[in-house]
Structure 1
Amino acid sequence: MISRALAVVLLAGVSFPAAAQQFSDNKVKIGILNDQSGVYADFGGKWSYEAAKMAVEDFGGKVKGVPIEVVTADHQNKADIASNIARQWYDTEQVDAIMELTTSSVALAVQGISQEKKKIDIVTGAATSDLTGKSCSPYGFHWAYDTHALAVGTGGALVQQGGDTWFFLTADYAFGYSLEEQTSKFVTSKGGKVLGSVRHPLATTDYSSFLLQAQSSGAKVIGLANAGLDTANAIKQAAEFGIVAGGQRMAALLFTLAEVHGLGLEAAQGLTLTEGFYWDRDDQSRAWAKKFFDRTGRMPNMIQAGTYSAVLQYLKAVDKAGTDETEAVAKNLHEMPVEDVFARGGKVGANGRMIHDMYLMEVKKPSESKQPWDYYKVLATIPGDEAYIKPAESGCPLVK
């Protein structure tokens, strides 16, 4: 017969809430892994971490009574460093999902590790459409934008406006190649021509030789297939060479509100670009952006707003599943609609691509801006089904 004291001990051992027993380590832990010190520090950086924390707070701080934790690290735009951090997070620090992942080489590496470890990754910072193409994963999701959507937006629009000859300045890694290739396809499909291209290393400081080649090509549009400080520095130096004054146009194929702010309207005015979010879109986006501004001193771009959306949707999927078990959460992420401040009527394809509207923007002249961070004119809304590759055509081996 069991003694009263022993019975109390046995009961105490099983008295945890039933929900907690469905969660590894009795918590949900999310890692925000991105560039916090290099060329993409403003692009995502610590601001994406703040957006992730906002999502947790807005969700209520717990899921099914289990606490939610967010950690962050700087991968320094190096795939080997990112891979080491990802393995450590998964193997010893009980991280359930990794998100943001600025830089395509990093995102591809971490998505591979996540698939190996059967963990979820949601990419908001990297661009390459290979993440939901040939390198897709059953546990991998691509959220805020990709190279195809940028090419449809900026590339297609400028050709229709008369920019029918192009020369590319391209970042010399996977993201740049993909962005140039896909934009070139849209330029030629609209009847335009690509006159040439030149590749530059990541974090280049001197663009003079590259810009001279672009200038001498005579192309009507110089497409900047790079991002962050690389794009900003190229635009600054292009002004010194008188490229825009000479009649050529600069197309920033991946440029966000953060980089426009850093560059200033005087230098950035007239640029055409594509983003998946604008803080001044409507009352809901303005209200959320004000909360973001109050804690960061800046307005969010599509990377930061997309990270908020990704974290929030992940938590909704966990809540619906009643567990942080990867297969169950991934199933919900594929099936649940995305409806939040970032995406309206969003949906996730079988290849993990979150399909949502994109926006073609033109940077305002200083005289057109009515208040701080009032930088964009929305030229067009690009429906998600037009912006993104159809899952069946993406090359993802998971899609039948």
Structure 2
Amino acid sequence: MNSSDFRSRRRQVLGAGLAAATTPLWFNIARAQNNAPIRIGLPTPLTGAFSAEAQDQARAAELAIKEFNESGGFNGRMAELLVRDDKLNPGEAATRTLELIEKDKVNFIVGSLSAATQLSINGVCKDRKVLFNSISQSDAINEAKDWSPYTFHEALNPHMTSGAVARYAFPKFGKRVVYLTADYAYGHEMVRGFQRAGQALGVQTLADIRHPIGASDYSAFLPRIQSLKPDILVLCNFGRDLVNSVKQATDFGIKSSTKIITPVLLYTSRLAGGADAFDGVLGGTSYYWGMEDQVPSAKAFNDKFRKAYNGSVPSDYGALGYAGVRSVLQAVRNAKSVESLKVAEAMAALKYDWYKGEQFYRKCDHQSVQSVIIVESKSKNMKDKNDVFNVLAIEKPDEASLRTCEELGHKV
């Protein structure tokens, strides 16, 4: 290189360096933000009584992230899932959510597996104007005092679930009812839903017997239940509580004269409790993989899950993890933005069928209006280890099955 070429090359390098040095800071920041991943936080109880359901939520949520990224993301931006253990504790859930928003800079929150933790998560998101899509049952989160424009509820709520089970079971099995209830919001809301649906059917509540969440021994309650001679025993509890109470009620001989039903009959609980203990137990669910014979989107979802996870099938709460994340990411694309308010507006307009048939969000409270599946556990004629339920009925999506917007405190 001669001296003239050297001087020319030096001027080019210096010019480029000067241009870089004088590029406005805001431009570099904007470029970095445009390339940053879209982060979704998932606080859920990875440890504790509901850990099996929470781990399935996380697995299915990862599937929604993978699909979004493989289809190009949003303007080239990929999505990322940040899972945190809320330990089934409202204070822990609030702390983890705050960290996800302030430290990890997530764009949105999806998650929860408890009525109590989801309200604390929602409170943090509400204060910071971050979109939250709850994937756990709660009636309170739809009420105006806890709700915000950033609040969405992907899951069924207790009023919908217990109402559907009551309308199916009470006319068939009798009107004298005892409730064995986990003593927290989930249990209380489920009992309220059953009793409201039962009023029109002439159902009599013989007793509502409360037990602490996480109880392992139900022997003190069973003699009283049996002495009341109910037609139906309603187990308004969840996860390990449901498994333990079903096993002990079966061993005590309750089934000989009483039909056992539960508002939420979990696939994971049935696997944990076994065919004999759960035989004949009836309940509701947001999803059962066996719907694939009737619902095309269920078959498509199951096939994707099987491929991703060595042939296993998704659980009910796993499916909610998938839908909760997928709804948010679809709304990002529709809004052409990651700003929570714009995404919330797009999400409120969604009409979708991710895995169980048609769904949409009710305008006043962002509750996902959807089907409720009535299933009964079986111990015979099972095709394989996953074939645990008979699908008895599917109650179609209907806003009439929800509490009214006015009752919830919303102005319409």
Asked if these proteins are the same fold (TM beyond 0.5), I'd say yes
Pick aligned residue for 1:330 from 344, 358, 363: 344
1:15 Cα deviation from its structure 2 partner: 7.2
Change beyond 3 A, Cα 1:388–1:119? farther
Q: Which is further off, 381-390 or 136-145?
A: 381-390
Which AA in structure 2 matches 1:324? V
Pick aligned residue for 2:56 from 47, 63, 85: 47
Q: Which residue of 1 aligns with 2:107?
A: 96
1:283-307: CA deviation from partner (whole Å, max 9, x where unpaired): 4423422432444464222211111
In the TM superposition, 1:130-141 aligns within 5 A as 130-134=140-144, 135-141=146-152
Q: Which residue of 1 aligns with 2:235?
A: 224
1:250 Cα deviation from its structure 2 partner: 0.8
In the TM superposition, 1:106-145 aligns within 5 A as 106-124=117-135, 126-134=136-144, 135-145=146-156
CA distance in 2: counterparts of 1:384 and 1:221, whole angstroms: 26
Q: Which residue of 2 aligns with 1:292?
A: 305
- The number of residues matched between the two structures is 392
In the TM superposition, 1:340-359 aligns within 5 A as 340-359=354-373
Q: Which residue of 2 aligns with 1:57?
A: 66
Do 1:349 and 1:391's aligned partners in 2 also have CA atoms closer than 8 Å? no
Q: Which residue of 2 aligns with 1:256?
A: 266
* TM-score, structure 2 normalization: 0.89
Say whether residues 1:194 and 2:205 are aligned partners. Answer: yes
Q: Which residue of 2 aligns with 1:38?
A: 48
CA distance in 1: counterparts of 2:158 and 2:32, whole angstroms: 40
Change beyond 3 A, Cα 1:81–1:18? closer
Q: Which residue of 2 aligns with 1:311?
A: 325
SS of 2:62's equivalent? helix
Say whether residues 1:204 and 2:215 are aligned partners. Answer: yes
Do 1:111 and 1:121's aligned partners in 2 also have CA atoms closer than 8 Å? yes
Change beyond 3 A, Cα 1:317–1:76? same
1:21-60: CA deviation from partner (whole Å, max 9, x where unpaired): 5x5x8221111111112111122x1221111110011112
Change beyond 3 A, Cα 1:386–1:335? closer
Q: Which is further off, 345-354 or 82-91?
A: 345-354
Which AA in structure 2 matches 1:216? S
Q: Which residue of 1 aligns with 2:3?
A: none
Q: Which is further off, 101-110 or 54-63?
A: 54-63
1:192 Cα deviation from its structure 2 partner: 0.9
Say whether residues 1:71 and 2:82 are aligned partners. Answer: yes
Which AA in structure 2 matches 1:269? D
1:63 Cα deviation from its structure 2 partner: 1.9
Say whether residues 1:378 and 2:394 are aligned partners. Answer: no
SS of 2:78's equivalent? strand
Change beyond 3 A, Cα 1:89–1:8? closer
CA distance in 1: counterparts of 2:228 and 2:400, whole angstroms: 29
Say whether residues 1:83 and 2:94 are aligned partners. Answer: yes
Change beyond 3 A, Cα 1:388–1:136? farther
Say whether residues 1:162 and 2:162 are aligned partners. Answer: no
SS of 2:125's equivalent? helix
1:202-238: CA deviation from partner (whole Å, max 9, x where unpaired): 1100001122222221111111111001011000001
Which AA in structure 2 matches 1:323? S
Which AA in structure 1 matches 2:75? K
1:269 Cα deviation from its structure 2 partner: 1.6
Q: Which residue of 1 aligns with 2:10?
A: none
CA distance in 1: counterparts of 2:409 and 2:39, whole angstroms: 28
Q: Which is further off, 333-342 or 217-226?
A: 333-342
Which AA in structure 1 matches 2:85? D
1:395 Cα deviation from its structure 2 partner: 0.8
Change beyond 3 A, Cα 1:20–1:65? farther
Change beyond 3 A, Cα 1:205–1:387? farther
Instruction: Give the percent of matched residue pairs that are identical in Structure 1 and Structure 2.
Output: 23
1:332 Cα deviation from its structure 2 partner: 0.7
1:384 Cα deviation from its structure 2 partner: 1.6
Q: Which residue of 1 aligns with 2:19?
A: 7
Pick aligned residue for 1:241 from 252, 255, 261: 252
1:143-171: CA deviation from partner (whole Å, max 9, x where unpaired): 12110111112122111103211111111
SS of 1:7's equivalent? helix
Which AA in structure 1 matches 2:64? A
Greater Rg, structure 1 or structure 2?
2
CA distance in 2: counterparts of 1:358 and 1:17, whole angstroms: 47
CA distance in 1: counterparts of 2:31 and 2:337, whole angstroms: 8
Do 2:37 and 2:78's aligned partners in 1 also have CA atoms closer than 8 Å? yes
Do 1:305 and 1:342's aligned partners in 2 also have CA atoms closer than 8 Å? no
